[in-house]
Every structure is written in structure tokens, then in C-alpha cells.
Homo-oligomer: A and B are copies of this chain.
Amino acid sequence: MAYNIAVIPGDGIGTEITDAVLPLLERGSEHHGFDFETTWYEWGSERYLQDGAMMPEDGLARLEHSDAIFLGAVGHPNIPDHVTLNGLLLPIRKGFDQYICKRPSILYDGIESPLRGYAAGDIDFVVYRENTEGEYANIGGREHRGFDHEIAVQSAVFTREGTQRVVQQAFEAATHRDGRLTSVTKSNAQAHSMVFWDDIVQEVSEEFPDVTVEELLVDRASMDFIRRPETFDVVVASNLFGDVLTDIAATVTGSLGLAPSGNINPSGAYPSMFEPVHGSAPDIAGQGIANPLAAVLTGAMLFEHLGENEAAAALSTAVESQLADESAPRTPDLGGSATTAAVTADLEDRL
């Protein structure tokens, strides 16, 4: 049996890291005895500039039967972000009901946290972010455009189904980790949506009596990701709050260049999509110096999702060993001056 993986390199450094990292994944599949077939989709901003659409109309249908999707990055300096994102990334997350965005944060050996006093191993938690609704619901509008009484409305929508399932999965994840869950809301100021979220957490917690639950307001959680990141285990949050928190998490663990993520539909009814947290980084695109490690760790998450745990572990271990090795090549974001190619060549040796 061969896995069929859809590959969307996308924009900017997305294409560079995808080109660099896919061969490593193929090598991994060979070593571990499974077939890994890729279908590449040249979708993204270049296509938009030519044809007016980020992907073809039947884009989702083409991806639907793949076993997983690998996405590089989306975003272009000359196109508004809400156009590029709503043309490619967000429709896949929503259209394939990838309701969990899973983002692990680990402070690796060899990486200096920007926080004083933190050393390798001190930070190790995972964020389960709701990924299909909430503050990202495309509901709202503008009225009285240009007049003094103009208004804009943006409605966040939380469904019981949509909230329950991500909360449940986060609790479940906590039972396989240290048994601690932090739910992040803003119930004091957003009493309609967030008190609802708190109620669901309360209900679901009854199914998981062994998991300790902490409730934090998003402002306080943002502080605590900086002043006590070592205390978190599993964190569950809405789409927007998860977005902010995972970027803080990537920062305190030393680099956005190391942060992987999975947009997961646990039912398997549709494929899940794996992407590094960093974007298309137009400022360094084309220079061959993008850090491929987030993409490699993203590949490890993809393997894990396929059930190929050994191949996943091999990739993570190679990254860990490279980071711990002072003489190994590093890209500029990690303080080195190596190229993307040098970093992946070194990883290949370690695999």
C-alpha cells in the first residue's frame, strides 16, 4: 500500500522548504518500508496573479482522496493576506473540517530561549486550537461605507459540536501526557461566546475525572506563556486565541523556524493538512536561507498521523541531534549562516 500525499508548496519560502524537505520524507519512507507517493499542486499567489484564483474551483475535490496534505506557506507581499488566505489555506482547513490545529512547543537542546533562565527540556506543551469556526467565521460586513455612521461587524460563532469536539480531543491528549489541561478564554469581556466555551469545558471535564483543569483568560495566558511556560501541558483555545498563543509559544521556544503544526480531522473523513507555523517570509524568500526544520518536524507530525511512528521519530531525532550539535550548520534565524540546503544535507547524514 502506498500513501498518497498532496504537496502544496505555496508561496515564498514555502516552495524552498518544501523542495528541500520532501526528499527527506521520501528517504524516511524508504528506510521504514512504506511507500510515499506525492502529487504536487502548484497553487498559490503566482497562480492568483495569472488566473485570479489561488487554486482551481475543484481544488478541494482534487485533494480529497489524498492520505494527507503537506503545505509550505501562503502569502504574497503584493496581494492582501485576506485574499491569499481565504483563497487557499482557510478553505482547506474549513472544507476538510480540520477542526484541530495541533501545535507542540518544545525548547530543544542547543536552542537558547529568549527568556532568561530557561534551558532545554524546560518547555514542553502542546496547544489544541479550534480550527474551523469561532472568531474566524466569515460572518459580518460593513454598512454605510464612507459615511460618518459607517460600521463594521465581525461575528464569532461557536457551535456546541465545534467546541465539544476540540475540547474532548484536548482532554484525551492530556490523558496521554501529564494530565493537565488549560482552557483559555476571555469570559470576563465576551460573556456570550466564552462563557459558553467554559460551560462546555466544564461538561466535558466530567468525562475525564483524572485531568486537572485550569481556566485562564487570554491576556493572563499570554503573560503566563512568558513567565511560566514550564507549567503548561495541554492548552485548548479558540481559533484566534490559539493563533496568538502558538506564536508566543514559538517565540519562547526559540524560533518560529522550529514550529510545526497539523490541521487535523481525527475522523479521517477528509485528509489532514500539515504545515510549518512560519509563513511565506517574503523578506528572505529566494535567498536559500529559510530554516527547513519546522517543515521537517511538520513531516514528522504527518508521518505520525499516518501511523508511521518510527519514521516520525527518526525525523524528530535527526532534528534534535542536529540542534544539539554545536558544529552543525544553522540558518540565520538560529544565529548561523548556513543555507537551507546545507541544513538538509546534514540532516540526511543523520537519518
- A contact set with B: CB distance below 8 Å: 80-82, 84-86, 90, 112-116, 135-136, 138-142, 144, 147-161, 186-197, 217-220, 222-223, 226-227, 239-240, 243-244, 246-248, 250-252, 256
Contacts and interface: CB of A to CB of B under 8 A. Distances in A.
B160 A147 contact: yes
Contact of A82 (B90, B112, B187): B187
Given A114-B226, A248-B226, A248-B248, A148 B135 contact: no
A156 B159 contact: no
Copies per assembly? 2
A54 to B, nearest CB: 13
B196 A222 contact: no
Contacts of A113: 116
Contact of A192 (B114, B140, B148, B256): B140
Nearest to A139: B192
B256 A223 contact: yes
Contact of A244 (B116, B154, B219): B219
Contact of A158 (B152, B186, B250): B152
A188 B154 contact: no
A293 B36 CA distance: 61
Contacts of A112: 116
Given A113-B116, A136-B189, 6 more contacts: A115-B116, A140-B192, A149-B161, A189-B240, A226-B226, A248-B248
Contacts of A114: 115-116, 226-227
Contacts of A189: 82, 85, 90, 135-136, 239-240, 243
A85 B188 contact: yes
A86 B248 CA distance: 29
A15 B189 CA distance: 23
* Residue of A90, A223, A239, A256 contacting most chain B CB atoms (<10 Å): A223
B152 A193 contact: yes
A160 B139 CA distance: 19
Nearest to A81: B188
Given A142-B196, A226-B226, A160 B154 contact: no
Contacts of A155: 140, 153-156
Contacts of A153: 155-158, 192-193
A188 B247 CA distance: 15
Contacts of A222: 222, 244, 247-248, 251
A349 B48 CA distance: 67
B193 A154 contact: yes
Contacts of A250: 223
B191 A86 contact: yes
B149 A192 contact: no
